[in-house]
Structure 1
Amino acid sequence: MTAFPSRPGSPDAPPDERPSFRRRLLMRIGPAVVLALGVLAAIAWGGAYLTVHQSATDALATEVNEMRADVGGQDTLDLSRYAWDEAHHRLAVDRVDPIFVQVFTPDGRLVRRSANIDSLPVRVPARRRPVHAEGIWPSLHTFTLGGRSFYYRTRPLRASSGGRLGFVQVARLVPEHRSLLWGFGAALGGLWLLLSGGLMGLVAWAAGRVLRPLRSITEVARSVTSAELEERVDIPPTADRETATLGRAFNALLDRIEEHVAALRGFTANAAHELQTPLTALQGHVELALRRERTPESYRETLRLLDRKLGGLVRTLRALLTLTRLDREGAFERSLVDLSALAADEADAVQPAADKKGLALTVDADASVRASGQPALLRKAVRNLLDNAVKYTREGGVRVDVGTTADGQARLTCTDTGVGMSDEECATATERFYRGTEAGRMAQGSGLGLSLIRRIVEEHDGELRLDSTPGEGTRVTIILPAPSSSVPSLEPEHKQVPDVA
C-alpha cells in the first residue's frame, strides 16, 4: 500500500513541516486587515464622491426652489419676481459660477432664459430636457456644448390650483470634481498600501514578541535531561501576564519533575539496597549449605530460614506494588466500612504474634464505627499498624481504640509500649524505606509499613498522626472522614490490591 506524505499543517505532519505561528497569523489576519482597510478606503472615497455630487446637485436644487417660490401661489406663469439681474444669471465667466436658467411652457415652448446664455460662444438650443427622478444616490445628468460639459436639472412649475404652469431648467458647468476624486482615490490607495504594510509588520512584530518566550521554553525543554534538571525559563520583567503565567507554570512543572526524579532515584537506591541485603544473605546461606554434606535436619533448618527470608522479600515487593498502584490509579470506588469489626478481625489475626512475645493485645471499639473507604486498603493499613506495634514492642502491650471525633469522623488509635521514636524520627518515619535506629536494631523490616499506611490514609482524604516518646512507646491515630449519603452500604472489593505484611 502506497504511503503518501503528510500535507503541511495536517495533524500528523512533522513539526518542521508545519507552518509557523507567525505565518499562520499573517495568512489569517493579513487578508482580513487588508480587506478591512480596503473597505474603509472605499467608504471614504464613496463619502467624498457623495459629498461632491450632493454639493453640485444642491446648487441646482436651490435655484429651482427659488423659482418655485417666486411663481408659487399664481395661476399664470409670471416670472417678474425672479432675480434675473443677479451676477451669476447675467454673466457667463467662471469667477461668478454662472447658472443658466430656462423656463418653458407645458408644451415645451421657451418663455424666458437668463442673460448669460446669450454670452456663451455657442448657441444653446431652446429645448426642454427630460425630467429625471431623484434617487438615493446623487447623479449628474450632463450635456456638452462647445466642448464644455454642463449638468442640469429640469423640474415642473405648478399653479396654486395644482395645475402645471411650465418647466424650469437650470444648468451649470460641471465642476472639476473628477480630477479631485481621482487624486483623493490615489491618496487613499497609497495610504491603504502604507497602512496595510505597517499593520502587517506590526502583526509580525507582535507574533515575534509572543514567540520569543516560547522559543525560550523550547530551548529549556530541549536542554533538560534526567541528569540536568536545574535549567529554568527566564521570565523578563516586561513579559505579558499570559507569557509570565506560562513561564511560571513551565518552571513549576520542572520543579515537580525534579522532585519526582529525585524521589525516584532515592526510591530506586533504597529499594535496591533493601532487596540486595536479604538476597545476599540468602545467597550466603545457600553457599554455606552447599559447602559440605549436612544432615536432613540441618537442610530443613536452612530451608526454614530461606522461607522466612523469602517471605520478607515477598511482603516488601507486595508493599511496593501496592504503593505503585496507589500512585498510579488514584481514586477508587468507596463503600461503608465497619471500622470496629475490621479492627477486631485484624487484632485476632496478629494475636498469635502478640502471645508469642507475651504482649497484651486489647481492642476497645464503639459499636459499629463506620467510615467511607475501600475495605481491602483499610484492612491493609490496620494490619500494618498492628504488625508494627507488636514487632517493635518488647514488653507491655498494644491497645487499639476505635471511636468518633467531635465532628463525626471515624478515629482508630493504636498505642504500644515499644521502643518509641524521637521527634526527628517521627518527622521522617512515613518516608519509604525509612527505619529508626532502635527499630532497626530490634527487628528486621522493609521500612514500608508506615509509608504504606500514610499513602492509604491520604487516598481516603484522611489524616495520620504520630506521637512517640523514645523508650515509652508510640501512638498512631488514623482519622477518616464521615461517610456521605451517596456511599453504598455494602462493602464490595472494588479494587484488587496485593496483600502486604
Structure 2
Amino acid sequence: MLVLAFAAWSQIVRHFEQEPRARDLAQMVVSIVNLTRTALVNAESARRLEMLIDLTALEGIRVYPAEDDDTLTPLPDTRPITLLTSEIRRQLGPGTRFAGSWEGLTGFWVSFRLDPQDPDEYWVMLPRERIQRPRALEWLGWGGVIMGIALLGAYLIVFRIGRPLRLIAQAARTVGQGKYPPPLPAGGPGEIAEVAVAFNQMSGDLARLESDRAIILAGVSHDLRTPLARLRLGVEMSGAPNDEVRAMVSDIEEMDRVIGQFVDYGRSEPQPPEIVKLAQLISDITEAYRLRGLDIQLDLDSGAAIRVRPIAFRRALRNLIDNAERYGGKAQTITVSTHSAGDHWKISVTDQGPGVPESAFETLKRPFVRLDEARSNPQGAGLGLAIVDRFARAHDGRLDLSNHPDGGLIATLTLPGTNAPVMTSG
C-alpha cells in the first residue's frame, strides 16, 4: 500500500507540476529569443559575429540562419514538451518551429525572425539541460530513500503489533488443547497490552477452575465409589437368588463405569507426551478383554510409534473398545488395526454393531450424547467418544467415525508419529 501510495502521489505531483513548469520554461525561452532578436537587430553589422560567439561561449546559446535544406529531428512527443511548445508558440507566434537537433547538433531549437515581415529565419539553440528536469536521478534517489524509511517504519509498526497478536493466537490454541501457556508479556500498543492482560487473567481463571474441578471429581469419585463397593458386597452376601444378585451387581458396575467416565472426562494430563510403541501397548490393553472372553482381532504394524501420554491413550482406547462391546454385543469380533498416514498413524476400532447415521458422526463426539434409536443399548453416560475426541485434540490428532460397508462402526484415531512436528505451548 505504501509503494502504491508513493507511486500515485508521484504521478499526481508530476501531472499538476508540469503545466506551471512549462509556463516558466516557456517564459525563459521566449525571453532568450527576444533578447537574442533585440541584440541582433541593434548590434552593428561588424560586431554581430563577435556577439554570436560570446552568446555561445558564455550562455551556451547558438544562433544559425535557417535554410530550406536544414536537417532537423523533431522533439520527443511527450506531455511536458507539448505544453512547453504550445506556450512558446502562443507568445512568439504560430509560425514558430521547434526541433530536437539541427544539422546533428542536439539541443532545444526554436525558430524566430528579426521582424514578422522579414523573410529570413533564424534558429536559436538552448542547451537541453535548461529545458529538462535537473538532477532527475538525484530526486529519484531521495525519493527511494524516503520510501525505504517509510517501509522500515511500517515494518516496525506491523512487527510491534503482529508479534503480540501471534503470541495471543498461539496461546489461545494451547488453551484449546487443554493446556495452560505461560503468561503473555503485557507490553506493546495499549489495546494489545489490554488484550494480553485479559487473556492472562482468563487463562489463570481457567487453570483455577480446572484445579477445582479435579478436586471435586476426585472427591465425588471417592465418596460415591466407596458406598458402591459396600453396596456390592452387601448384595453379594444378601442370600438373594443368583439372577437377582447378578442383575444388581451389573447395575452397580454400570454406575461405577459412569462415575469413571465422568472422572476421565474431567481429568487433566500434566505429563508431557512421550514416544510409545503401538503394537505392544495395544496388545497389553486388549489382553484384559480377551481374558473376559471378548473376541478381539489385531492387525498391527510392528513399526508403529506415536507421541502421546500413555495413560491417556490407554483410557481412550479402552473407551473405544468398551463402546464397540456395548453396542455390538459380546458375540461379535472387534478388530483393532494400525496403518500409516504420512507422518501420522491411524488406530482403528471396528465393531459389528448396527452402525449410526452419517449425519450423527459429529454429534456423537459431544458429551452426554447417545443415539439410542440406532444403537439400542441405553447404558453409559454418553461420554466415551467425547473423552476420545478430547484426547485426540489434546494430542494434535483427530477422531473420525465411519460405517463399515458390511455393517458396524469404525472409530479411527489419527495421532502424530515420531517424525511429526511437535506443537509447543510457548
Q: Report the TM range for the smaller structure's normalisation.
A: 0.3 to 0.5
Q: TM-score, normalised by structure 1?
A: 0.36
Name the structure with the higher helix share: 2
